[in-house]
Amino acid sequence: MDAAVSGAYTTRMTVRTRFAPSPTGYLHVGGARTALFNWLFARKHGGTFVLRVEDTDEARNTDEARQAIFDGMNWLGLDWDEGPQRGGNFGPYYQSERTAIYDAWFAKLVAADRVYEDGGAWRFRFERKPITMHDLVCGEVTIDYRDESNTPDMVVKRSDGSYVFHFVNVVDDLEMEISHVIRGEDHLMNTPKHLQLIEAFGGKAPQYAHIPLILNADASKMSKRDAGAAVGDYPRQGFLPSAVVNFVALLGWSSKTDEEIFTMDQLVDRFSLENVNRAPGRFDFEKCKWVSQQHLAALDDAAYHDAASAYLAHYQPEFHARPELIQLTRGKVRLFNEIPDYVRQWLPDAVIGYDDAELISKVTSNPLVIEHWPAMAEGLKSTPMDAVDFLKQYAESHSLNLGKLMLPLRYTISAQKSGPDLLPAISLLGAAAAGERMENFSKQFIQAAQA
């Protein structure tokens, strides 16, 4: 078993990337972006994308966290060619199941006299020399390992017999014939350690690309609870996966053009590591929502209906509205979770409360409202016609410009100054209900003012 050697000859023409999360929390947006870049790079070059679960820290691993990774990847559309649930020729893909492999590789270090015991643990003896890496994003970086105080020999095997991250990570990248390691910049200083291990193994190092971290809007380090941090929150808020992928790709990568809205396929087509930035980016939720809006706008009526319905059924089961009403939110909302509030006032059983003093006075001081509201309300309540047809007819027969009554109508009927496309919304609400609301408004404010 000498994968390191054979790998050097057989695989370097083939792109193989991997995402190697540890299931100790939820899928973080930074991790998702790392996964995305690896996925994009593999897809772009016709390579293979591997998912490897680094679950060597038994104390911190949880089944929920592992599931969150799968769910998040699946939701984002980042399908893996090899890994859990999918198999492959380089498995197993859980590090917890690869102990025999690690034992074999560890024996090599023992045989080469590159490890020594220290307090029951085993340390890897670094070669004391400058180590230079050629990072695809950061360029050439040299760390001087002659400075031992800054680079103490690292533990590769714990006193309990388990192996640490650096060791298993390197072994697996070699074993799995990974060609490109794209990971967060927090691993930059780990790379010379990994390079030393690879050299000790006589293996060929993959190409490394360290991508900058993602920070909060205030430049603090992004962590749990921070808005946008957990990938699992995005479905619930009503993002389209393509929008999240698009936005996340833009954090730290640029197409170098003025285009910003991309489909998955377009990202695959345009992605390149050369265009990855070096400075950490801040997470701007406003822009994230704008990207979402753009992706929503790209949906046709049928697709919007399907996606919105699926979202509401799953995340807002208590909310019920006619499909036609939901369709009126198309082009209006940026996220699906805005839908209920957006159309709530147009539900048949909505409770209408007028609380905008400025608007109330504006509406009630309109002579046309004073003159026509009671009659219009009366007519609407009894007409067999469609509400809008009735309103148009009424306006025509009284020589009224309906356009000038849009705001009063909107506020009177919905108690809002903005909302869905007005006429279709009134039509959907129905003449009787609209008339009733107008009547109530008249009694409450117009007649009261006159009395």
Site for RNA in 176-235 (CB under 7 A): 185-190, 212-213, 215, 217, 219-221
- Closer to RNA at the Cβ: 61 or 364? 61
Stretch that binds RNA, among 73-81, 253-261, 319-327, 368-376 (CB under 7 A): 253-261
Among the listed residues 227, 297, 310, 368, the single contact to RNA using CB under 7 A: 297
Instruction: Please count the residues of this chain forming the interface with RNA, following the rule CB under 7 A.
Output: 81
Torsion angle (degrees, nearest 10) of CA 86, 7, 108, 88: 10
Q: By the 8 A CB rule, do 85 and 114 touch?
A: no
Q: By the 8 A CB rule, do 245 and 36 touch?
A: yes
* Alpha-carbon gap, residue 374 to 372, rounded angstroms: 6
- CA of 378: how far to CAs of 168, 372, 432, 439, in Å? 78, 10, 9, 7
Query: Any long-range contacts for 244-247 (C-beta under 8 Å, 24+ apart)?
Result: 244/32, 244/76, 244/288, 244/292, 245/36, 245/76, 245/77, 246/291, 246/295, 247/287, 247/288, 247/291, 247/292
Among the listed residues 62, 263, 272, 277, the single contact to RNA using CB under 7 A: 277
Among the listed residues 8, 101, 121, 268, the single contact to RNA using CB under 7 A: 121
Between residue 10 and residue 29, which ones bind RNA under the rule CB under 7 A? Answer: 21-22, 24
Residue of 179, 180, 208, 178 whose CA lies nearest to 193: 208
Q: Is 410 in the site for RNA (CB under 7 A)?
A: yes
Closest distance to RNA from the beta carbon of 51 (Å): 13
Binding mask 420-439 for RNA (x = CB under 7 A): xxxx----------------
Among the listed residues 166, 204, 236, 305, the single contact to RNA using CB under 7 A: 166
Three-class secondary structure of residue 146 per DSSP: coil
- Closer to RNA at the Cβ: 8 or 207? 207
* Alpha-carbon gap, residue 191 to 279, rounded angstroms: 19
Q: Which two tokens stand for residue 65?
A: 């966290």
- Closer to RNA at the Cβ: 65 or 205? 65
Among the listed residues 113, 286, 301, 358, the single contact to RNA using CB under 7 A: 286
Label the pairing between strands 214-215 and 281-282.
parallel
- Closer to RNA at the Cβ: 5 or 227? 227
Q: By the 8 A CB rule, do 47 and 14 touch?
A: yes
Between residue 310 and residue 369, which ones bind RNA under the rule CB under 7 A? Answer: 331-332
Q: Is 440 in the site for RNA (CB under 7 A)?
A: no
- Closer to RNA at the Cβ: 15 or 176? 176
Tokens 């591997």 correspond to what residue? Answer: 50
* Alpha-carbon gap, residue 279 to 283, rounded angstroms: 13
- Closer to RNA at the Cβ: 11 or 208? 208
Q: Is 164 in the site for RNA (CB under 7 A)?
A: yes
Q: Is 273 in the site for RNA (CB under 7 A)?
A: no
* Alpha-carbon gap, residue 73 to 54, rounded angstroms: 16
- Closer to RNA at the Cβ: 16 or 157? 157
- Closer to RNA at the Cβ: 11 or 292? 292
Binding mask 72-101 for RNA (x = CB under 7 A): ------------------------------
Between residue 137 and residue 156, which ones bind RNA under the rule CB under 7 A? Answer: 138-139, 141-144, 147, 149-152, 154-155
Q: Is 448 in the site for RNA (CB under 7 A)?
A: no
